Structure formats: structure tokens, C-alpha cells
Amino acid sequence: MVRSPSIMISRGRFGSTAAQVLEQARAAGRASRDEIAAASGLSVATVGRATAALVGHGLLRERPDLARTGVTGRPGVPVEIDRDRYLTIGVHIGRRIATVAVGDLTGRVLDSTTVRRPLGAAPDLDRLSRLAAGLLGGRPGQVPLAAGLVAPWRDLGLVPTELEAAWHELTALPVRTGDHISAIAAAEFLHRRHGTRGMTLYLYARDTIGWSVAVDRNGQTDVTRAASLTHFPTGSHVSCPCGRQGCLAATVATLDDTDRARLLGEVAATIRDMLSPDQVVLVGQAFTGVPATLDDVVAAYDAHSALGHVVPVSFTRFGSDIQAISACTVALGPVFDDPIAVVEGQACRRGA
């Protein structure tokens, strides 16, 4: 199994005050300064200063139309992430297709386009940057702040730092890269606001199969580990391109829907028994593409787990749009690391 760098989803109290306020607004959807102070542990005065800076830079917007009396008796004007001013660019490079997307600062995908690419060829970044420019051209007045690049790097034989530098050269934006499976886990975590305490195991299955783990430590959350299950031994006699027999991906490819569901359920139970997470989420078109077999997956998972207590298992809500969503989630990284600096850096480049 191969480890990959972690993706930080939520910085919690280790973030700057601006980052903490922005994260609280994102998590709540909309919140007053009092509510942000209570949730973050920051003082109301600190939250007030950070909120003013974020509103001034166009990252948050006030909603006086929704004002209500707060806990201190003062009217609380809620703030929310400004979805209309800034954009992110997310690029997902797969084995056969590449997806370019633009998203807003909540991680929502606004527009995307997917193109075929030759199997085994190096990514055509010039072409992808023209596609990104086309998507941005449809949104005059909105400014891109950061970009994300996601791929199953090792499976494709690509070096993420090289593509990161090249994409930065083409876009002049801060760029963050993410492993395919970790990025999908990050997207799933970001868009699901409840039921993600402690450790969440994500098992992904489509062309590639693997798992990753998100750990929430009192509000600081990152995807700490990811591993490929492509060559996970199943005991079957199916030959794999790696030269061995019984590797999971090669075996799954030979099975009908029901047997595939059963095997994936058993593998999920095995990984769950190894890691002992608080909840399990199954992700990818191998699950979402065949909804009729989801009961078979859960039955095999329950039957195969050697541990006594039940760990809840659920399926992702995302379908074929998961590539665009995961890339736009990774693109949020530079924004939530240092929101004010990202806006000021972009203003400098545009002014130059």
C-alpha cells in the first residue's frame, strides 16, 4: 500500500482567525458573529474584526435582511460565504477522461466540462487551461482565486509537484494537489455536515479501488491516509497485469453486479476491522452506478465483519459529478489556509 500526503479539510483552532471565521460560516451555511464566537471559542471582538476583514475582501457577505436578536440582545446580522464574487478552478485527471470545473467558495460546482484523453498520454495542460478559460469566460465579473489538481497520481505515473508548477505557470493561481481517493473523501466530508465525528473510513471503487480516512479532532479535520486496493489479494485465480493472481481490481472486473457487490462489501468489512473507524462511507460509481445491488453490499459487509458492534455504513450522494466536486474541494485549500492573503495576492496580479 502506498501512502499519500494528507489533505486538510478543516483547520479548527490551528487556522488564522480569518480562516476560522470563514470555516464556521461555511459549516453553518449562515451565522451571526455571536454564533461564530460560540462555535469557535474566539472572542466576539476577535470574530468581529475578522468578519469585517472578510466582508471587506468580498469573501463573506452580510445578510441584514435575515437579522434577528442575538443571545446578547443585540440584533445579529448573519454572514455567509459570498458565492458570487470569487471562483475556484478544479481539474481532475483520470485514466481516460479529464474534467475541468469552476466552483464557488462553498465547494459547489458551478460549471464543468469533461474531455477524453488518450490512455497513457501526458495530460495536455494547455488544452485544459483553454477549457478553464472558456468556463471562466461564461462568468464575467467573477474572479478565480485558487486551483486544485486531482489525479490517481501513482496509477498514472505522474508527479503531482511537476503538474502543480506547470498549472501555476499557466493560471498564475495558487495551486493545491490531491490524491484522487483522498480528494473524494475530502469532498464527501465537506458536503456532509453531520455524522462525521471521530474517524470516517471512505472506500472508493470505480476503475481504481482504494480507501482513505478522515479524522476529526475537535474541529481540526484532515484526510490522513489513503491507500490503493488495486492489488489487494482476494484469493481468486484471476490474472492481474502486475503478474500476480487474485488482485482485487482485476477480480472485480470479471464479476457480475451481484458478485461484485458481495466482494466489495467483504473488502469494506476487512478494512473496517483493521482500522476500527466510527463510520464507513462507500463512494464511487461501482456503488452508485448499480443502486439495485447496494443491499447486497451491506449484507456482505455485515456478514463478513469479525467485530461485534455495528459500525454504520452509508453511500455517497455523489454520482458521476464526483470528479468535478473533488477537484473543486481541493482548490479551496489555499483559500481556507489564508483567505485574506489569497485575495490580496490575486488583486496584486490583476493590478500588475
| Sites of contact with Zn ion (CB under 5 A) | 231, 240, 242, 244, 247
Closer to Zn ion by CB, 240 or 300: give it.
Answer: 240
User: Distance between CA 225 and CA 68 in Å, rounded?
Assistant: 43
Instruction: Give me the least distance between CB of 252 and Zn ion, in Å please.
Output: 12
Residue 121 is given by DSSP the state P
Closer to Zn ion by CB, 23 or 155: give it.
Answer: 155
* Grid cell digits, residue 173: 493561481
Closer to Zn ion by CB, 24 or 228: give it.
Answer: 228
Instruction: Give me the least distance between CB of 250 and Zn ion, in Å please.
Output: 6
Closer to Zn ion by CB, 286 or 330: give it.
Answer: 286
Instruction: Give me the least distance between CB of 238 and Zn ion, in Å please.
Output: 9
The residues, ordered by sequence, that sit 6+ positions from 18 with a Cβ below 8 Å of its Cβ are: 50, 53, 54, 338, 339, 340
User: Distance between CA 226 and CA 243 in Å, rounded?
Assistant: 24
Laid out side by side, the sheet with 209-217 consists of 7-11, 220-228, 209-217, 198-205, 279-283, 313-315
Closer to Zn ion by CB, 13 or 244: give it.
Answer: 244
Residue 46 is given by DSSP the state H
Closer to Zn ion by CB, 142 or 236: give it.
Answer: 236
Q: Where are the alpha helices (DSSP H) in 201-321?
A: 248-252, 257-275, 285-288, 294-304
Instruction: Give me the least distance between CB of 160 and Zn ion, in Å please.
Output: 23
Report DSSP letters for 309-320, one per residue: S---EEE-S--T
Closer to Zn ion by CB, 45 or 242: give it.
Answer: 242
The residue with cell 490583476 is 350
Instruction: Give me the least distance between CB of 157 and Zn ion, in Å please.
Output: 16
Instruction: Give me the least distance between CB of 231 and Zn ion, in Å please.
Output: 4
Residue 66 is given by DSSP the state G
Instruction: Give me the least distance between CB of 298 and Zn ion, in Å please.
Output: 27
Instruction: Give me the least distance between CB of 243 and Zn ion, in Å please.
Output: 7
For residue 32, which of 83, 66, 6 has the smallest C-alpha distance?
Answer: 66
Q: Could you give the C-alpha distances from 260 to 32, 171, 245, 296, in angstroms and in order?
A: 48, 42, 17, 9
* Grid cell digits, residue 296: 447486497
Instruction: Give me the least distance between CB of 239 and Zn ion, in Å please.
Output: 9
User: Distance between CA 94 and CA 103 in Å, rounded?
Assistant: 19
Closer to Zn ion by CB, 266 or 321: give it.
Answer: 266
Closer to Zn ion by CB, 204 or 301: give it.
Answer: 204
- Cβ atoms of 336 and 124 closer than 8 Å: no
